[in-house]
C-alpha cells in the first residue's frame, strides 16, 4: 500500500479470522487509535501492540514517514501488510480531530442491576454412541446446541426495556474469548487484569481468567445473541440468547 510522505492517513483494520487473535503492531510508526469496533474514543497512542480478537475492528491514524521508507503492519512478528511512503508535493498533515461520538445511551451505574456471566469449559467428553454436536463450553452452566432451533426461546437473561445493567463477565478458563453482544452497545468499565479507559463497543476480548465489567442500557427490544466470536467455541456451546422486553 503506497501512502503520501508526511501525511496522516486513517486505516481501518478488521480481524476476519474466526479463530485467531491478532497482536496488532506497527513497529517504528507514529500511530494513534481513533475508534474501537466502530465506536470513537479519545485518540491515544497505539503503543507496542493491540490485541484484536476475531470479529473485532480498530481505526488507526498513522503518520507516513519520509519518502522511500516502509512501515510493516504485523500480527506479532508476522507481516500483514507493507505501508510504503511515496514522495508528494503536499505539506505535512495534522492529526485529525476526535471522531463524533455515537448516539449510545449512557448507563447509570448507580441504579444499574448487576448480572454475572461465567464462561466455562464444561469438560464433557463425547461417548462412542453420542449423537449431535459436542458441547465443550457453557455460559452459566448452559451449553448452546447449534442444531436446536428452540435455544433462542430460552434466553439466559431477560432485561427490562430501557433498564440499566452491569454485566460481570468471568472467564473461568485459559482461553481468550472475544465476547460479542448483538443488538446493543455496551461500555467497558474495568478489569481485574488490566487498566481500562472506559469506552463503548460491541465486543470485548476477555482474557485468561479475567473478570471484566461492562454496562449498558437495554434500549433495543428483541432476542439478541450473546456469544464468543471464536467459531469453534460458539459451535460447541459458548453462546446464549438475551431478551429485551
Domain holding 154, by residue range, is 109-244
**Residue at 101 is within a domain:** no
* Inside any domain, residue 168: yes
Q: Give per-residue pLDDT as tens, 2-18.
A: 999 999 999 999 999 99
Residue 192 pLDDT grade (very low, low, confident, very high; cuts 50, 70, 90): very high
33, 128: one domain: no
Q: What's the length of the chain?
A: 245
Q: Same domain for 71 and 114?
A: no
Taking every pair of Cα atoms in the chain, the longest distance, rounded to a whole number of angstroms, is 71
CA 33 to CA 11: how far, in whole Å?
10
Q: What's the CATH number where 69 sits?
A: 2.60.40.420
Same domain, 236 and 172: yes
Number of domains in the chain: 2
Separation between Cα atoms, residue 220 and residue 197, nearest integer Å: 25
Q: What's the pLDDT tens digit per position in 102-126?
A: 999 999 999 999 999 999 998 666 6
Residues 138 and 55 in one domain: no
Judged against a pLDDT cut of 70, whether residue 129 lies above it is answered with no
Query: In the structure, what pLDDT confidence band is assigned to residue 67 with cuts at 50, 70 and 90?
Result: very high
Is 97 a domain residue?
Answer: no
Closest-CA residue to 56 (of 222, 176, 190, 225): 176
Domain closes at, from 53, 86, 119: 86
177-181 vs 222-228, strand pairing mode:
antiparallel
Q: Which of 114, 130, 134, 131 is nearest to 238 (CA)?
A: 134
Residues above pLDDT 70, as percent of the chain: 96
Give the pLDDT confidence score for residue 91 in this predicted structure: 72
**CA–CA gap between residue 220 and residue 101 (Å, rounded):** 19
* Percent helix, strand and coil across the chain, each to the nearest 5: 5, 45, 50
Does residue 121 share a domain with residue 69? no
Stated pTM of the model: 0.93
Are 133 and 225 contained in the same domain? yes
Cell numbers that stand for 57 in this block? 475492528
In which residue are the cell numbers 481500562 written? 196
The SS3 call for residue 119 is strand
For residue 170 the three cell numbers come to 468471568
Question: 118 is written with which cell numbers?
Answer: 461465567
Q: Which DSSP category does 111 fall into?
A: G
- Are 32 and 95 contacting, i.e. CB atoms less than 8 angstroms apart? yes
Q: Is residue 26 part of a domain?
A: yes
For 176, half-sphere exposure in the C-beta direction (CA atoms, 13 angstrom radius) is 17
Helix H or strand E segment including 34: strand 30-36
Q: How confident is residue 89, by pLDDT bands cut at 50, 70 and 90?
A: confident
| Per-range mean pLDDT, top range of 66-70, 129-133, 240-244 | 240-244
Residue 218 lies in a domain: yes
Average pLDDT, the chain: 94
- In this structure, the answer to whether residues 115 and 195 fall within a common structural domain is yes
For residue 93, name the pLDDT band (cuts at 50, 70, 90).
confident
Assigned C-alpha cell, 134: 459436542
pLDDT of 39 above 90: yes
Amino acid at each position: 500500500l503506497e501512502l503520501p510522505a508526511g501525511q496522516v492517513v486513517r486505516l481501518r483494520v478488521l480481524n476476519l479470522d474466526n479463530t485467531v487473535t491478532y497482536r496488532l503492531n506497527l513497529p517504528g510508526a507514529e500511530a494513534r487509535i481513533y475508534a474501537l469496533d466502530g465506536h470513537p474514543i479519545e485518540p491515544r497512542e497505539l503503543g507496542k501492540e493491540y490485541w484484536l480478537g476475531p470479529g473485532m475492528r480498530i481505526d488507526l491514524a498513522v503518520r507516513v514517514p519520509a519518502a522511500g521508507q516502509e512501515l510493516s503492519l504485523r500480527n506479532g512478528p508476522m507481516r500483514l501488510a507493507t505501508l510504503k511512503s511515496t514522495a508528494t508535493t503536499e505539506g505535512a498533515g495534522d492529526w485529525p480531530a476526535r471522531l463524533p461520538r455515537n448516539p449510545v445511551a449512557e448507563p447509570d451505574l448507580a441504579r444499574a442491576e448487576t448480572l454475572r456471566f461465567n464462561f466455562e469449559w464444561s469438560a464433557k467428553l463425547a461417548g462412542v454412541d453420542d449423537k449431535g454436536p459436542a458441547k465443550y463450553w457453557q455460559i452459566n452452566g448452559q451449553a448452546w446446541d447449534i442444531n436446536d432451533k428452540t435455544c433462542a426461546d430460552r434466553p439466559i437473561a431477560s432485561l427490562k426495556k430501557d433498564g440499566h445493567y452491569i454485566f460481570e463477565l468471568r472467564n473461568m478458563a485459559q482461553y481468550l474469548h472475544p465476547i460479542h453482544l448483538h443488538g446493543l452497545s455496551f461500555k467497558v468499565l474495568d478489569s481485574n487484569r488490566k487498566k481500562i479507559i472506559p469506552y463503548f463497543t460491541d465486543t470485548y476480548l476477555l482474557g485468561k481468567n479475567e473478570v471484566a465489567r461492562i454496562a449498558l442500557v437495554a434500549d433495543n427490544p428483541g432476542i439478541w445473541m450473546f456469544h464468543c466470536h471464536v467459531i469453534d467455541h460458539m459451535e460447541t456451546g459458548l453462546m446464549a440468547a438475551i431478551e429485551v422486553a
